[in-house]
């Protein structure tokens, strides 16, 4: 009962952090800080020293890569959501509709869909990385930034 009560309490409650979630906001903040402290500065140094690119140009290239990665990940998540929605036979706009029924005020199916998408991320990350590396802006920085840009 305690486990069920705990799950209900943190479900759709942004004020309660799930400490078992490796992607909770605090952990993501730490990971992004590590990217900046380590990989970002290594790639920036590599681009400015080896390629003789100005700092502003190198930073723009790195930001473009981050935006391309973000867009590719967002696209992959949307594809997964739509695939799951179709598989379970719900309309394509299921996640966009406001749920009006139920005492909790949210559709439990939406939670299941989000959990399935999140669960599939661990299985498809290598595929997503390969797709990201095919993006022109990422390919360019991979060629100029040597192995440090691959780590980034």
- The tokens of 23 are what? 């992607």
Q: What is the pTM of this model?
A: 0.67
Q: What tens digit of pLDDT does each residue of 14-34 get? A: 566 666 777 777 888 898 888
Q: In angstroms, how far is the first alpha carbon of the chain from the final one?
A: 44
pLDDT at 128: 84
Cα–Cα nearest to 93, from 115, 113, 71: 113
Asked whether the predicted pLDDT for residue 50 surpasses 70, the reply is yes
Residue 25: C-alpha distances to residues 18, 31, 72, 120, 121 (Å)? 10, 10, 20, 19, 17
pLDDT in tens, 128-151: 888 888 888 888 888 776 677 777
Q: What is the pLDDT of residues 105-120, one digit of tens each?
A: 566 777 777 778 777 8
Ordered by start, the domain boundaries in the chain are 24-89, 109-138
Strand, helix or coil for residue 122: helix
Contact partners, residue 138, CB within 8 Å, separation at least 6: 65, 68, 69, 132
Cβ proximity of 95 and 104 under 8 Å: no
């Amino acid at each position: 009962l305690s486990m069920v009560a705990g799950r209900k309490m943190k479900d759709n409650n942004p004020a309660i952090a799930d400490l078992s979630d490796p992607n909770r906001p605090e952990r993501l903040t730490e990971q992004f800080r590590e990217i900046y402290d380590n990989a970002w500065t290594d790639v920036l140094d590599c681009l400015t020293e080896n390629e003789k690119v100005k700092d502003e140009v190198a930073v723009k290239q790195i930001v473009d890569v981050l935006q391309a990665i973000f867009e590719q990940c967002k696209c992959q998540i949307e594809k997964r959501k739509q695939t799951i929605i179709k598989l379970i036979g719900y309309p394509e706009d299921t996640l966009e509709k406001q749920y009006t029924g139920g005492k909790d005020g949210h559709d439990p199916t939406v939670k299941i869909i989000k959990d399935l998408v999140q669960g599939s991320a661990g299985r498809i990350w290598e595929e997503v990385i390969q797709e990201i590396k095919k993006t022109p802006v990422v390919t360019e920085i991979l060629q100029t930034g040597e192995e440090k840009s691959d780590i980034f």
